[in-house]
Chain A
Amino acid sequence: MAAAAIAALTVFAILFLWVESETAVAGLVLAAAVVVVIGGRLGWLGQVQAAFGQHETLLNGGVIVAVLAITAFFYRDHFALLMVATVLLYILACLGLTIQFGYAGILNFSGAAFFGIGAYTAAVLTAHTLVPHLLVLLAGGAVAALIGSMLIYPVLRTRGHYAAVVTIAFALLFKTFLEVNDVLGGPQGLAVANMNLFGWDFGQGVELGPLEASFILNYVLLASLLVIIGMLLVKRLERSWIGLDMDAIRLDETASACFGIDPARWKITAFTLGNFLAGVAGALYGMMLAFIAPNNFTFADGLIMVSIVLLGGIGNPWGVVVAAGIVIILPEKLQVIQEYRFLLFAATVILILRFRPGGLLPRGLRQYFPGQPT
């Protein structure tokens, strides 16, 4: 059952990335919607969910195989691979937001700003230093976490929506700062060197025997690896006392304090960790694009990240995977809606919050271990 679901999704993703005409894309979207609705009625979705709950390793392995299959299918297609890699990097950044918002309850609208800090860090470090590129990724995360720590004090002093306002202010500030800052290229932006891992140049096409694959394949592979690490981190965090502490402070700060939990400690941890993931994702994103500008990291992009988390299911990393795919790829394939995408996302988020507050894949109860006593 679970394997069939993954296979079906893979084929669907390939078809979706493959078709060109907008009518076909719209048809696929409709078909998917019909299948989901009917599947829900017939109880298939519940069965799939239960199957995944029981066979987690299968789920993890299956999804990795699926991503590889999609990548292999489009090995020469720059555009399709670019979308796959972008989705993967957005997943990584949104996993960061999941820790912040889904667990600790800090709604961060400046996810794109921290993503951008990672990208700009990569630009500066690759242009002016000889820092090995693997470290550049970590540095992107570290700088994002560090700059994020400037926000910690106001975020801790405020609660709920007010903390969110602090992050909105930061997102707007960040873009303006980039635009007026000539050292960082101003509105024109900066060039970023391609990733080079111990002599493996990501800017070159990959030769696989007689076949030559797009250079973006490199980025897809590295991004997949990073997403796997990020997923592992988020999952382990959730399945630990720390995940519990974060849930507790999100749900009731005062009661948690009466049981010894220190809300400040876990908010700082969640905020820093989340920004770190966004920064790492941004650093690789910058290298992949080879050129970055303030317009890549606007407040609107931060909104998109938040809507991915909401749409997928707050606090469920698998929800992020599904929602990132939908939110990133759909407007690219359906150029008709490109112009209205914010309108559509806003409407979707409102509908989700109204009719299915748990998102597409609502988060379940915490399982500390697969197959623990229930």
Chain B
Amino acid sequence: MSPAPLLRSTRLTRRFGGVVALKDLDLEVHQGEILGLIGPNGSGKTTFFNVVTGIYPASAGRVEFDGRDMTRLSPQQVYRAGIARTFQRSRLCLPLSIFDNLMVGNHARLDHGLAFNLFRRRAFRAQFEANYAAARELVMLFDPPLANRLFEAVSDIPMIDRRRIEVCRALISRPKLLLLDEPSAGMTQEETRQFMDDVLTVRARMADLTIVIIEHEMNVIERITERCVVLNYGRKIAEGSYREVATDRQVQEAYLGLE
């Protein structure tokens, strides 16, 4: 038997009025794996991320992470427990610099006291320098030229770089679990391929990082995931390697409709 899963949801349910977005979902994510979460539009994938990260409370069921019950935690507590995410529509702060955006993700390692920030400018400067170095190093892994442009506005950089910065923002706090919500959206096939190379490179450097990725591009899923879970109407309809789920009859019906 494998060790306890990093993330486990048990009979997790989320309703919006009469709509059941997640229905009794049992899902396990194991330490160190890349899990693909797939399914047609509206099948509950993003809702699952939102419930896990505490944006929506669960209507029923339970979420455990790293051996702790996480069901009722606020987004802030979920972040501190070690889960970071990206968003389907890129949700960076566009008017701010790349560095600023990275520091938003780095919240847990920064001192937010009034006295520290306003009056202890020397100590603040030391903290700034240390975190600037860390941010540069991380961005360097993705795209060395970008590391020299940390003080440019995010609104001035292309989509692929925004996606990279979004992943860096999630990774800079060294989370145990990274949730990627459809990272290929808005990118060309070539950009997507480059981006996935980056993700694999980074994962090779961060040995125990676990990733759950929502994706519509099946070649991406095939290439980078070790296991897939397929949702339809908020329920899990299949689970296994990409090859297994791709040939599953229920999955084909969900995507293509009944013949």
Contact = CB atoms under 8 A, between A and B. Distances in A.
Contacts of A242: 112, 114, 117-118
Interface in A85-102: none
A370 B72 CA distance: 43
Interface residues of A, number: 30
Given A251-B95, A366-B97, A373-B132, A237 B117 contact: yes
B68 interface: no
Contact of A372 (B96, B105, B151, B152): B151
Interface stretch (A193-201, A258-266, A294-302): A258-266
B76 A260 contact: yes
Given A252-B93, A257-B76, A259-B169, A244 B85 contact: no
A372 B135 CA distance: 15
Contact of A247 (B53, B75, B100): B100
B249 interface: no
A348 interface: no
B94 interface: yes
Q: Kindly name the residue among A242, A262, A367 whose own CB sees the greatest number of chain B CB atoms within 10 A.
A: A242
Interface string B71-84: 00011101110001
Given A241-B111, A254-B55, A261 B76 contact: yes
A256 interface: yes
A115 B27 CA distance: 56
B91 A252 contact: yes
B203 interface: no
A355 interface: no
Interface in A195-242: 233, 236-237, 240-242
Interface in B197-247: none
A287 B76 CA distance: 46
A56 to B, nearest CB: 14
Q: Kindly name the residue among A237, A240, A261 whose own CB sees the greatest number of chain B CB atoms within 10 A.
A: A240
Contacts of B114: 242, 269
Contacts of A236: 117-118, 121
B117 A240 contact: yes
Contacts of A245: 107, 112
B79 A244 contact: no
A315 B187 CA distance: 33
B196 interface: no
B218 to A, nearest CB: 27
Contacts of B153: 365
B125 A244 contact: no
Nearest to B124: A240
B151 A374 contact: yes
Nearest to A262: B76
Contacts of A368: 125, 128
Given A259-B169, A261-B76, A366-B97, A244 B118 contact: no
B130 to A, nearest CB: 13
B103 interface: yes
B110 interface: yes
A251 B94 contact: yes
A368 to B, nearest CB: 5
Interface in A142-162: none
A258 B79 contact: yes
Contact of B107 (A251, A261, A366, A372): A261
Contacts of B95: 247, 251
Contacts of B54: 257
Nearest to A254: B55
Contacts of A247: 93, 95-96, 100
A184 interface: no
A244 B191 CA distance: 30
A266 B151 CA distance: 24
A241 B114 CA distance: 10
Given A241-B110, A244-B100, A257 B55 contact: yes
Nearest to B150: A373
A178 B53 CA distance: 48
A241 B94 CA distance: 17
B112 A258 contact: no
Interface in A254-292: 254-262, 269
Contacts of A366: 96-97, 100
Given A252-B93, A259-B104, A373-B150, 9 more contacts: A237-B117, A241-B110, A241-B111, A258-B53, A258-B55, A258-B78, A261-B76, A366-B96, A373-B132
Interface of B: 53-55, 74-76, 78-80, 84-85, 87, 91, 93-97, 100, 103-105, 107-108, 110-112, 114, 117-118, 121, 124-125, 128, 132, 150-153, 169, 173
Return the 10 tightest CB-CB contacts between A and B, nearest first: A240-B117, A257-B75, A260-B107, A260-B79, A251-B93, A255-B91, A374-B151, A241-B110, A242-B117, A365-B97
15 contacts: A237-B118, A241-B110, A244-B104, A245-B112, A254-B75, A255-B91, A255-B104, A257-B54, A259-B107, A261-B76, A269-B114, A365-B153, A368-B128, A369-B125, A372-B128
